[in-house]
């Protein structure tokens, strides 16, 4: 799947001009392709189709679609939401429907007609903004979108539903909710994100005649992670290898209060193929969990009276770090002052990649600038509340547009950020984004994050670069969660069931 931003799409269209393809021809192709997509989904002969057209090029696409649908036997009306077109190409397309029996009415000028028309309408088409929408809808356009959403009929959007930001997936509360979105040339980030399904409906990518050469030099910023992506990076194992070839993960985790986090993250790492997994924790934790983790190496360290890891264990921890190919820190570590000091010291001194999760992120939030002193690759795995602590942005703001905040954090500190949520995204330090396609609501359980951290830690220890390890780890975790839901249900599944499903995921893909 090819995913391009709105800015990249403009560049592709500019490039297409060098291949005898004019803007007018691209608009003609886009509107015609949209009409063809609608005809494939519905019998339009004699049916009433109403198209809301803005004054930009998206409106021009709508004018072309109006003409093509009329030529196919539909009863078509065009509603101008913002008056006459402002672009020359769109104005030409409006002129071309002038001699046809297509009603063209300005929104707000003939309310009785519009009310009657919508009552008769079989199909609605949104061609108001397209990928040009940014910010928030003003009240006038909210009223228009509410009107569209209030009509009980099939609705199509051209390129992106009005009110949805094509690059981030952020949607105004009144954004058009389409049954299908016809995307021109390439998917946009929002149409590729599972979270946008509530607004986009079925996504149909339409060829508008832009040659492949016009896409050359367009750097891929968004990647949809699927089985081909993941298992194209996880090779089958050769016979002539040994455990040292598959990495050494040091897992700094657990406390008297949170022993389970140490167990889940360690076991998940072992199930994801790490050659060695060492649990560095308090003596009490190591002694207690050893029967559950006989394959793991235990590194018992000094503890505080409250059962948390002591700062006095740092020298021993440094020694263990020297032999690791990756470090996972934070799961069940606690939030005391010693935990804060240990997390900071690990980030300052580690020479291998470090994955920071859970209490590690809470510790880091108290001194986030320590990331700028890190000499290693760093992966952060925050949920919304933890991301709020790291960025100081309110949770409600992050809910509206988590991608922008996550990318900004990743770029500012040169780290990889796993934005955990219903639809997890991974942001790399260079601004690239990986979109996950697996998982379900059953993963919203205690311990699920510990499992994910262990999976990512294991992949990092095996030598995968930070963004790749994070994106693949998220996908594997989600698919194992889907397997667990199939066998245990979303209600009853537990984090341990996700770990138990990992061998099935690998076996089904011959790994």
134 annotated as a binding-site residue: yes
Structure tokens at 504: 């099935």
437 annotated as a binding-site residue: no
Closest by CA position to 247, among listed 158, 355, 154: 355
436 annotated as a binding-site residue: no
338 annotated as a binding-site residue: no
Answer yes or no: are the C-beta atoms of 328 and 252 closer than 8 Å. Answer: yes
162 annotated as a binding-site residue: yes
260 annotated as a binding-site residue: no
261 annotated as a binding-site residue: yes
Cα(first)–Cα(last) distance of the chain, in Å?
24
482 annotated as a binding-site residue: no
135 annotated as a binding-site residue: yes
Decide: residue 22, CB within 10 A, 0-12 exposed, 13-18 middle, 19+ buried.
exposed
488 annotated as a binding-site residue: no
Which residues have CB under 8 Å from 186's CB, separation 6+?
2, 3, 4, 9, 12, 205, 215
Which bin fits 271, alpha (ψ -120 to 50), beta or left (φ > 0)? alpha
Closest by CA position to 164, among listed 125, 135, 144: 135
59 annotated as a binding-site residue: yes
7 annotated as a binding-site residue: no
Looking up tokens 């076991």 gives 267
Which residues have CB under 8 Å from 19's CB, separation 6+?
211, 213, 214
450 annotated as a binding-site residue: yes
Crossing angle of the two packed helices 57-71 and 88-96, in degrees rounded to 10: 20
Answer yes or no: are the C-beta atoms of 36 and 71 closer than 8 Å. Answer: no
- Kindly list the distances between the CA atom of residue 237 and the CA atoms of 233, 480, 501, in Å, as whole numbers in the listed order: 12, 21, 20
431 annotated as a binding-site residue: no
Structure tokens at 304: 């505080």
- C-alpha 168/C-alpha 148 separation (Å) is 23
Answer yes or no: are the C-beta atoms of 203 and 183 closer than 8 Å. Answer: yes
420 annotated as a binding-site residue: yes
61 annotated as a binding-site residue: yes
Looking up tokens 């500190």 gives 413
126 annotated as a binding-site residue: yes
If one counts every other C-beta atom within 10 angstroms of the C-beta of residue 39, the result is 16
400 annotated as a binding-site residue: no
29 annotated as a binding-site residue: no
Answer yes or no: are the C-beta atoms of 403 and 440 closer than 8 Å. Answer: no
- Kindly list the distances between the CA atom of residue 461 and the CA atoms of 116, 420, 470, 506, in Å, as whole numbers in the listed order: 65, 21, 12, 18
422 annotated as a binding-site residue: yes
449 annotated as a binding-site residue: yes
Annotated binding site for AMP: 420-424, 449
Annotated binding site for (6S)-NADPHX: 57-61, 130-136, 159, 261, 332, 383, 450
Annotated binding site: 57-61, 126, 130-136, 159, 162, 261, 332, 383, 420-424, 449-450
Annotated binding site for K(+): 58, 126, 162
């Amino acid at each position: 799947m090819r995913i391009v931003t709105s800015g990249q799409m403009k560049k592709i269209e500019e490039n297409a001009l060098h291949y005898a393809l004019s803007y007018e021809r691209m608009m003609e192709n886009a509107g015609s392709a949209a009409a063809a997509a609608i005809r494939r989904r519905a019998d339009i002969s004699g049916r009433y189709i109403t198209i809301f057209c803005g004054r930009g090029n998206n409106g021009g696409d709508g004018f072309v679609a109006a003409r093509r649908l009329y030529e196919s036997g539909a009863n078509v009306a065009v509603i101008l939401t913002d008056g006459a077109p402002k672009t020359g190409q769109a104005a030409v397309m409006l002129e071309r429907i002038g001699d046809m029996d297509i009603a063209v009415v300005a929104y707000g000028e003939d309310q009785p007609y519009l009310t009657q028309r919508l009552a008769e309408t079989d199909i609605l088409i949104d061609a108001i903004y397209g990928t040009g929408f940014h910010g928030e809808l003003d009240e006038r356009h909210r009223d228009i979108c509410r009107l569209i959403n209030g009509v009980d009929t099939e609705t199509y959007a051209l390129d992106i539903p009005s009110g949805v930001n094509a690059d981030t997936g952020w949607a105004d509360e009144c954004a058009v909710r389409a049954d299908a979105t016809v995307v021109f040339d390439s998917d946009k980030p929002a149409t590729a994100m599972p979270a946008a399904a509530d607004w986009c409906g079925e996504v149909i990518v339409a060829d508008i005649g832009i040659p492949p050469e016009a896409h050359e030099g367009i750097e891929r910023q968004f990647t949809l992670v699927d089985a081909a992506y993941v298992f194209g990076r996880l090779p089958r194992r050769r016979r002539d290898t040994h455990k040292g070839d598959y990495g050494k993960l040091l897992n700094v985790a657990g406390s008297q209060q949170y022993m389970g986090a140490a167990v889940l993250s360690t076991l998940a790492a072992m199930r994801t193929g790490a050659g060695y997994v060492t649990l560095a924790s308090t003596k009490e934790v190591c002694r207690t969990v050893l029967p559950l983790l006989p394959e793991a190496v235990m590194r018992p360290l000094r503890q505080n009276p409250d059962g948390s890891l002591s700062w006095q264990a740092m020298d021993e921890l440094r020694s263990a770090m020297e032999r690791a190919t990756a470090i996972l820190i934070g799961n069940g570590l606690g939030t005391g002052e010693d935990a804060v000091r240990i997390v900071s010291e690990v980030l300052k001194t580690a020479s291998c990649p470090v994955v920071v999760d859970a209490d590690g992120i809470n510790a880091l939030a108290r001194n986030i600038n320590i990331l700028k002193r890190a000499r290693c690759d760093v992966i952060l795995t925050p949920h919304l509340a933890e991301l709020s602590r790291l960025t100081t942005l309110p949770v409600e703001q992050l809910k509206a547009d988590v991608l922008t905040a996550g990318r900004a954090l990743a770029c500012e500190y040169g780290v990889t950020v796993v934005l955990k949520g219903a639809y997890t995204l991974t942001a790399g330090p260079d601004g690239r984004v990986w979109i996950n396609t697996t998982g379900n609501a059953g993963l919203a359980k205690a311990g699920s994050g510990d499992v994910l951290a262990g999976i990512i830690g294991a992949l990092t220890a095996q030598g995968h670069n930070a963004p790749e390890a994070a994106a693949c780890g998220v996908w594997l975790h989600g698919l194992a969660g889907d397997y667990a839901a199939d066998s245990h249900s979303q209600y009853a599944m537990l984090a341990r069931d996700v770990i138990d499903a990992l061998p099935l995921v690998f076996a089904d893909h011959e790994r």
